[in-house]
């Protein structure tokens, strides 16, 4: 297994635990970033989600994880939903019980979820285990 974001971020692994770190720009409320587990359907256990907004017009953001690209909040494909977080704060949640299958290509998707604007920038770090 391997891992990676859709940009030039980094990924480290210890056994089956992977940590993906990257940053994104020009994100709107439903823009998502792809996390690739390395191909083929995988079952992942999300261990920690960290998201920090660094620029843009949003006042809050609500991170979500999906197992389908472009899925909607509240849909069956939403696997995790964080709380609304003020843009000056770090969203940092240790997870338990966030286990799901990726899409058929081994990908899942992070939506930082800003409440306004299409000019928002975020840094993120997702720790997950392939089980």
* Prediction pTM value: 0.91
More confident residue, 27 or 11: 27
Tell me the pLDDT band of 11, cut-offs 50, 70 and 90. confident
Q: What is the pLDDT of residue 106?
A: 97
Name the least confident of 36-40, 63-67, 118-122. Answer: 36-40
Q: What is the pLDDT of residue 87?
A: 97
CB 16 within 8 A of CB 43: no
Q: Which domains does the chain have, with CATH numbers?
A: 10-130 (2.60.120)
Q: What is the pLDDT of residue 7?
A: 47
Chain segment 61-109, per-residue pLDDT in tens: 999 999 999 999 999 999 999 999 999 999 999 999 999 999 999 999 9
Residues paired with 91 in a beta bridge: 51
b or e along 84-123 (b: 16 or more beta carbons within 10 Å of the residue's beta carbon)?
A: ebebeeebebebeebebebbeebbbbbbbbbeeeeebbbb
Residues 6+ apart with CB under 8 A from 90: 50, 51, 52
């Amino acid at each position: 297994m391997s891992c990676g974001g859709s940009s030039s971020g980094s990924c480290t692994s210890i056994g089956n635990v992977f940590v993906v770190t990257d940053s994104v720009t020009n994100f709107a409320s439903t823009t998502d970033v792809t996390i690739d587990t390395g191909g083929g359907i995988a079952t992942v256990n999300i261990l920690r989600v960290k998201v920090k907004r660094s620029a843009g017009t949003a006042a809050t953001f609500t991170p979500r994880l999906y197992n389908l690209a472009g899925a909607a909040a509240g849909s069956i494909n939403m696997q995790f939903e964080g709380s609304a977080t003020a843009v000056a704060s770090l969203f940092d949640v240790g997870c338990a019980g966030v286990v799901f299958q990726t899409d058929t290509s081994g990908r899942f998707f992070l939506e930082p979820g800003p409440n306004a604007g299409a000019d928002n920038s975020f840094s993120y770090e997702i720790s997950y285990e392939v089980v």
